[in-house]
Chain A
């Protein structure tokens, strides 16, 4: 594999001249970016982490931000554990990352997997410290994919690939205060964190469990000018009367399909703001941004090299080659890129006029407000009902969560139908509620005479 050595400045050096009015806020505290540049949260222990593979298992996003700034160009590898990582997976993930050090904070739960040669507790406050002159490392940034089951995959990025999408024009007129509904420990949030650092901006971090009304009010108090989230985040925010507390100049959507309704709602709510939606994933990076207020993307994006990003369709699915993609998976058998260097996104797009719109996932994973569902898993439960012959679980467009799952059910012809169809539907729903998390329980069930089966013998899952 070709290794390109980067001479890009480290994150810490990028904030060396930070203006004193730049801050990173969370609900409880704030760091002055200028203090970060001249201080440490590691209590003088940064040198112990030099050249190591460091797992970042901090509980707060503020200490995560601090740790990432300190570790870039110092650690050999930084593996960022998102807050919802199952504790059962800690050991496997840290082993795969060959982690020999961990950074935690006050809120990190104890776990045997964190018993590594070096453990540094990141303080919730920055103290002034002499800046060490440590050997320059080409830090690998390892991000976890939002897996549905099993151990998440670990995608390897570099600082170069992460900041490649952040082009000119980021340094916008006037003071910029970024906010994001994402967690910065995932790709979408990390992008905003890096945009704030590179763009000379402040950043308002989200806090797990904070009511949306409080979060919006806090964003308003901090004077947020640029705000990013998924369409589901935005749909939820638009349901809150507190939405009136913010008046961003730029509104950004990514991570899910941005449909026309959410784009129009945001335009109506923030008539003065630019509304942009980005296509991005942990593996593919940010492929493109669309700023014309329309869903989908112009057909001209395909088969042209735009800023080093090439898109092509293979069997209706989008593939992306660019300096912004991750390089590889750690420890996985399957390659992250195909033989030509393209990342297969698995996202199906359809041509509509002079645009392409996203039709869904090739794998058929259904995304309900950011939670992913394999339809087969739900069908397996429904099919347990003695009177069910077969079932198809499919997404249905929904104004609140983007999608919701519904089920088409074919009943057995011979079975006795005690209580009629309504009773059977109720029984199926009860069965689902007994064994599935709420978001996987179909919102509605339709009894249908038949389901389409493709030539392969598999259920036809063509989502309309």
Chain B
């Protein structure tokens, strides 16, 4: 499964668990408007580390938390690439 699909699957799963309604998952969706709250994103990052094996935010000390879903996916795609190169 692609990184993007994995992220979207996890977002849907967490929204279900937290009883939240997700906005349509488009690249330009502002994460704050997605329906997940801070705790939801915290869980998302932890779950993605389990499934994808990376936490690009904690690994890179200067990583900025992205604003949109598209940027969020890119951070993971870049993180996965860097790991493949290393």
A399: contacting residue among B43, B50, B57, B67, CB under 8 A: B57
Contact with A along B1-39 (1 / 0, CB 8 A): 000000000000000011000000000001110000011
Question: How far, in angstroms, from A261 to B57 measured CA to CA in the complex?
Answer: 8
Whether B30 lies near A399 (C-beta < 8 A) is: no
Inter-chain contacts of A261 with B (CB < 8 A): 57-58, 61-63
Whether B61 lies near A401 (C-beta < 8 A) is: no
Whether A264 lies near B45 (C-beta < 8 A) is: no
Whether B32 lies near A264 (C-beta < 8 A) is: no
Q: Is A224 an interface residue (CB 8 A)?
A: no
Stretch of A139-147, A166-174, A235-243 that contacts chain B = A235-243
Whether B39 lies near A268 (C-beta < 8 A) is: no
Residue on A nearest B43 in the bound complex, by CB: A443
Contact with A along B53-73 (1 / 0, CB 8 A): 001011001111101000000
Q: A261-B61, A433-B17 are in contact. Are A401 and B32 (CB under 8 A)?
A: no
Residue on A nearest B50 in the bound complex, by CB: A444
Residue on B nearest A242 in the bound complex, by CB: B32
Q: Is A260 an interface residue (CB 8 A)?
A: yes
What is the interface size of chain B, counting residues whose CB is below 8 A from a CB of the partner? 24
Inter-chain contacts of B18 with A (CB < 8 A): 438
Whether B46 lies near A398 (C-beta < 8 A) is: yes
A397: contacting residue among B39, B43, B58, CB under 8 A: B58
Q: A399-B58, A400-B65 are in contact. Are A239 and B31 (CB under 8 A)?
A: yes
Whether A396 lies near B46 (C-beta < 8 A) is: yes
Residue on B nearest A446 in the bound complex, by CB: B50
Question: How far, in angstroms, from A401 to B37 measured CA to CA in the complex?
Answer: 11
Question: How far, in angstroms, from A265 to B39 measured CA to CA in the complex?
Answer: 20
Tell me what chain A mostly uses at the interface: helix, strand, loop, or mixed: helix
Q: A241-B30, A369-B38, A444-B50 are in contact. Are A265 and B64 (CB under 8 A)?
A: yes
Whether B32 lies near A213 (C-beta < 8 A) is: yes
Q: Is A212 an interface residue (CB 8 A)?
A: yes
Q: Is A30 an interface residue (CB 8 A)?
A: no
Whether A235 lies near B65 (C-beta < 8 A) is: yes
Contact with B along A134-169 (1 / 0, CB 8 A): 000000000000000000000000000000000000
Residue on A nearest B49 in the bound complex, by CB: A444
Residue on A nearest B31 in the bound complex, by CB: A239
Q: A268-B62, A399-B65 are in contact. Are A369 and B31 (CB under 8 A)?
A: no
Whether A404 lies near B67 (C-beta < 8 A) is: no
Q: In the complex, what's the smallest C-beta–C-beta distance from A108 to chain B, in angstroms?
A: 28
Residue on A nearest B65 in the bound complex, by CB: A239
Q: Is B42 an interface residue (CB 8 A)?
A: yes
Question: How far, in angstroms, from A197 to B64 measured CA to CA in the complex?
Answer: 34
Known: A212-B32, A444-B46. 5 other contacts (CB 8 A): A235-B65, A239-B32, A241-B32, A268-B62, A398-B46
- The 3 lowest CB-CB distance pairs between A and B, nearest first, are A399-B57, A443-B46, A401-B42
25 A-B interface contacts by CB (under 8 A):
A235-B65, A239-B38, A240-B32, A241-B30, A261-B57, A261-B61, A261-B62, A264-B61, A265-B64, A268-B62, A269-B64, A368-B39, A369-B42, A397-B58, A399-B58, A399-B65, A400-B38, A400-B39, A400-B42, A401-B42, A429-B17, A433-B17, A443-B46, A444-B46, A444-B49
